[in-house]
Structure formats: C-alpha cells, structure tokens
Amino acid sequence: MKTDSLFYRLFQEFPSIFFELIGNPPEIANIYQFASVEIKQTALRIDGVFLPTQDEKSPIYFVEVQFQSDVDIYLRLVSEIYLYLRQNKRPNPWRGVVIYPSRDIDTAEKENFLEFFQSQRIKIIYLDELGSITSLPIGIATIKLVIEAEDTAVSTARELINRTQQAENLQLPQQQLLELIETILVYKFPQMSRQEIEAMFGLSELKQTRVYQEAREEGKLEGKLEGKLEGELEGKQKAKLEAIPKLLGLGLTVEQIAQALDLDVAQVQQVAQ
C-alpha cells in the first residue's frame, strides 16, 4: 500500500485526526467532508481535500502527503489549488497542509511562496518532530506510527493498542482504530502475513477482532464461543512461533520479541536456537 493511500484512508475514516494534527478542535470535522476532487479539462486530480458542508466562511483544506523529495511540490500544489478555485468558484477561504515524514524530504523551493508560509495559509508538518508517541493524543500517535522504525514499531503498536483499549471517553471508534493500527503494521511489514501480524496482538486484542464481535452478534452460546476462541488461540500461538525467525531477522532482540508477541523468553530462545 502506498503511504499517501494509507493517509487518505486514515483521513477518510478519522477526519478528526487531521484537524487535531493542525491544531484545531477535532469536533470541527463534523462540518467537513473529505474527498478527492478533479480539476476539469486537465489531467490533474487533488486527492485530499476537506470541503466544508455548511459554513461558507470555513476554509477548504487541501492536503498533500509527501514521502519523497519533490522540488516542484509547492508550485504544483498552488497551481492546482487556484485552478480548482477558478473552476468551482466556492466562496470559502483556503488552506494548504503538506505532511512530510521528516524535514530532510522537504527540498522544494519556497522563495516564490513565502507569503503563504509566513501567513500559515500553507502549513508544513514534519511527523518526526511531533514529539514522543507516548505523549501524543491517540489519533496523532497512530499517524506517527507510520514512520516508526521497524525495530520499535511492534512494541509501539502494542502500547497504542493498550492505550486505545484503556482510554475512557475515546472520541474515535475503538474498533476502527485498532484495525487501522493493524493495517499500518501490515504496511510496514509486507513480508509478514496478516495472521502473523495479528499474533503480535495477543489474547486481549483477539477479543476485539471482527470474528469475535460477529460471533457475539450471532447469539452463539458462550461455551461454543469459548471453544472457538481456544481453537483460534492455538492457531495464534503457532503464528507467533512462526513469526519469531522473521522478527529476529529484522534485528529485534529475544526480549523485545517476547514482549511484542506476549511469549516467554524461553519460548523465543527455543525457536531461535
């Protein structure tokens, strides 16, 4: 999955995270619709746009996720924005947001667009400068997980999962957020199967999976449900053990793998040998 596609899915499902990211109250998302807009009679398409659904004074937000160096990004972004405004003639003011993994990717010329940056009409966000994941709000921390180093991504994801499950009055849908964290891990570890990724979550996360929820909704007897879960746990345990060599190959220590997979150090050592 491309990184920009991952972000656009995230903003589509959790628009409040975007507004929290740019320093606005997350509730503002209630008056916006996230969409992909086409600039007519050109080959251009703006993939990330937050369009106000009610207030003509609320700004339109044009979002660009840039994980590769592009010297023309600001020229292209401003050109596309003004073409869109000319064709659609919306009365709303506009804002641009460019999201980079780190400052070193931002190599584009800014000289011709200084007034946009100085006025904050175009805002630049460097994900690696947002702060520690443990200190960030859950939504923003989930975004930052995308750039987390492979050797710490698993343990960091487990911390996020625990925070999500333990959080009270969580504004974001808990199950969707858990699935998004899993999706990010699948994206970061394409060589691992979804079953292996799920094995990293352990029993507490298993009970939040769609399989478990659907079984409850279907009204199955508790005994049958527990039997089903026991069978799944055996499969999860096997997947955990099979994941150990791959995690060792990624440079994780035996202790880190044991913590990530919720196994005993002795179990990991036995497989490692």
Q: What is the pLDDT of residues 159-189, one digit of tens each?
A: 888 888 787 776 677 777 877 887 787 777 7
Q: Do residues 229 and 212 touch, judged by C-beta distance below 8 A?
A: yes
Among 124-128, 203-207, 213-217, 244-248, the range of highest mean pLDDT = 124-128
CA torsion through residues 75, 77, 80, 84, sign: negative
Q: What is the pLDDT of residues 215-234, one digit of tens each?
A: 445 444 444 445 544 555 56
CA–CA dist 78, 80 (Å, integer): 6
- How confident is the model at residue 21, as a pLDDT? 93
CA–CA dist 49, 123 (Å, integer): 14
- How confident is the model at residue 215, as a pLDDT? 43
What percent of the chain has a predicted confidence (pLDDT) above 70? Answer: 78
Helical residues (DSSP H) of the chain, grouped into ranges: 3-13, 15-21, 73-88, 114-118, 138-144, 150-166, 174-188, 194-199, 202-206, 210-217, 222-249, 254-261, 265-272
> Please, what is the Cα angle at 90 between 87 and 93, to 5 degrees?
120
CA–CA dist 224, 215 (Å, integer): 10
- How confident is the model at residue 214, as a pLDDT? 45
The label of the residue with tokens 């703006």 reads 46
* Interstrand relation of 60-65 and 45-52 (parallel, antiparallel or unpaired): antiparallel
Provide mean pLDDT across the span 2-27.
86
Angle of helix 265-272 versus helix 254-261 axis, rounded to 10: 120
Among 102-106, 144-148, 209-213, the range of highest mean pLDDT = 102-106
- How confident is the model at residue 36, as a pLDDT? 82
- CA torsion angle for 96, 101, 105, 106 (degrees, to 10)? 30
Q: Do residues 239 and 196 touch, judged by C-beta distance below 8 A?
A: yes
Based on its alpha-carbon atoms, the radius of gyration of the chain, rounded to whole angstroms, reads: 22
The label of the residue with tokens 């440079």 reads 251
CA–CA dist 49, 20 (Å, integer): 16
Taking residue 222's Cβ as centre, other Cβ atoms within 10 Å add up to 8
DSSP 14: -
Taking residue 183's Cβ as centre, other Cβ atoms within 10 Å add up to 16
Query: Would you state the structure tokens that stand for residue 265, as one six-digit string?
Result: 């150090």
CA torsion through residues 174, 129, 145, 59, sign: positive
Q: Do residues 79 and 46 touch, judged by C-beta distance below 8 A?
A: no
Count of all residues that appear for the chain in the document: 273
The chain-wide mean pLDDT, for the chain, equals 79
Segments making up each domain of the chain, as ranges: 3-129, 150-272
- Residue 115 banded pLDDT, cuts 50, 70, 90: very high
Tell me: domain 3-129, CATH 3.40.1350, correct? Answer: yes
Q: What is the pLDDT of residues 25-58, one digit of tens each?
A: 989 999 999 988 777 655 567 778 999 988 778 9
pLDDT surpassing 80 at residue 197: no
Provide mean pLDDT across the span 231-260.
70
- Using alpha carbons, select from 182, 162, 170, 185 the residue that is nearest to residue 139: 170
- Residue 196 or 245, more confident: 245
